Structure 1
Amino acid sequence: MTIKRLDADSEQYLSLVVDAQNCIINVSNSWEPLAVQGGAGDSLQANKILGLPLKDFIQSDITWMAVETALKLCRLKRQPLSKPYRCDSPTHQRFMQMDLIPLQPFSTGLVKMQHGLLKEEPFKKPLYIQDMTASQGKTSLPHLILRCSFCNSLKNPKLGFWQTPEIFEHNQTIEQPLQVVHTVCPSCKEARWG
């Protein structure tokens, strides 16, 4: 997928700014309407998240390490970084892009993180996922499917390889969703930020 700069005026675009300690200090005007649209209007209100660590909103430690490393690289290089990713809904594949932009003066360590929708395609059949990442470590969950936080590919522990989420459309229902634990697949770990 070709990486492109997103249009900041798009209604499908949202951003936040983190300080040098990766705490959220600002959000874009589109933040709350998109949070409501995504069903998280109460929990992601600006007044409830400002001042909190970004890490509090990323459940997987492995995913947080990838994001934190990218933030550090952005600050060190003093240049924007981009990464495509997927953020699917039960009914649609949503191809997204994350841009990390260091803000001047660079000595402040401020980074703007913006997310934008590149394209959206419907699934042939809805794909229902239940995120069990928060339960990881509290109980043994070896039967759960791994889900990459960036490309959304899935790995069934019985098969041992990563597959596109569409392959799992017939293995779940809204009453019995696929139970997954978020991580980062080997391909996404190796992929460079543009």
Structure 2
Amino acid sequence: MSDDRGFPADGEEFGLSYWLDVGDVIVEVSPGWEDFAQENGGDGIEAKKVLGRNLLSFVHGDVTRMYVRSLVQSARMLRRPICRTYRCDSPDMRRFMEMRLTLENSGLLRWEHRTLRTEPLSRRIEFAVGSAGRSRRIVVRCSICNRLKASGGWCEPDRYEAPLPAVEATVPVIYGVCPDCLGGRSTISASG
């Protein structure tokens, strides 16, 4: 069973998976991939558009790319599963997730994802990757915990006071990794 965005229901086993070859090229996706892509407005993430492409072509921000590379290298070098929690929010829901990277006997690296729990955001907020016009400020968003860098530190997305006109519905972001997540002190927990 899955939630309204195609992720496994809270506490379910890993449901969404993909496999990487030694060059970090996506060579296989799990059977539910197409449904997940469609349910999440998947322009660009349908199986035919991800197979044969390097994983890092889907990762935004230099710090985030370094983080992903270190996870992949650790799983391959240590030859044991690597598990990490992260957030994959929708515009109105916090989704607390877990990923597991496992090096298989075939040499392929299996990357799996599952939902640990969800909770509503206090207000709807959308983000767009890219450059901002001269009148808009780009905000740094942590790729792991989804918090935003504000003048007073890092805060939850729905608590961010955007310096944008009230009619603006989308906050322009670049992706990075906050000091807590980079240092292994993630603010994400499996329980509420």
Same fold (TM over 0.5): yes
For 1:103-122, list aligned pairs within 5 A. 103-105=104-106, 108=107, 110-122=108-120
Query: How far apart are the structure 1 equivalents of 2:161 and 2:122?
Result: 8
Unaligned runs of 5+ in 2: 1-10, 187-192
> 1:131 offset after TM fit, Å?
2.0
For 1:3-152, list aligned pairs within 5 A. 7-8=13-14, 13-40=15-42, 42-105=43-106, 108=107, 110-132=108-130, 135=131, 143-152=137-146
Aligned pair count?
A: 175
| Structure with a larger share of its residues in helix | 1
Query: How far apart are the structure 2 equivalents of 1:161 and 1:169?
Result: 12
4+ runs deviating over 4 angstroms? 139-142, 169-174
Q: Is the 8 A contact 1:17 1:27 kept in 2?
A: yes
The amino acid across from 2:142 in the alignment is: C
Q: Is the 8 A contact 1:171 1:178 kept in 2?
A: no
Query: How far apart are the structure 1 equivalents of 2:176 and 2:144?
Result: 9
Percent of aligned pairs with the same residue? 34
> 1:169 offset after TM fit, Å?
6.8
Using the size of structure 1 for normalisation, the TM-score is 0.80
Once the two structures are superposed, what CA deviation does each residue of 1:146-182 show, in whole Å capped at 9, x if it has no partner? Answer: 10000011112xx151112221277666743222111
> 1:141 offset after TM fit, Å?
10
The amino acid across from 1:29 in the alignment is: P
In structure 2, relative to structure 1, the CA distance for the partners of 1:181 and 1:84 (3 Å cut) is same
The amino acid across from 1:7 in the alignment is: E
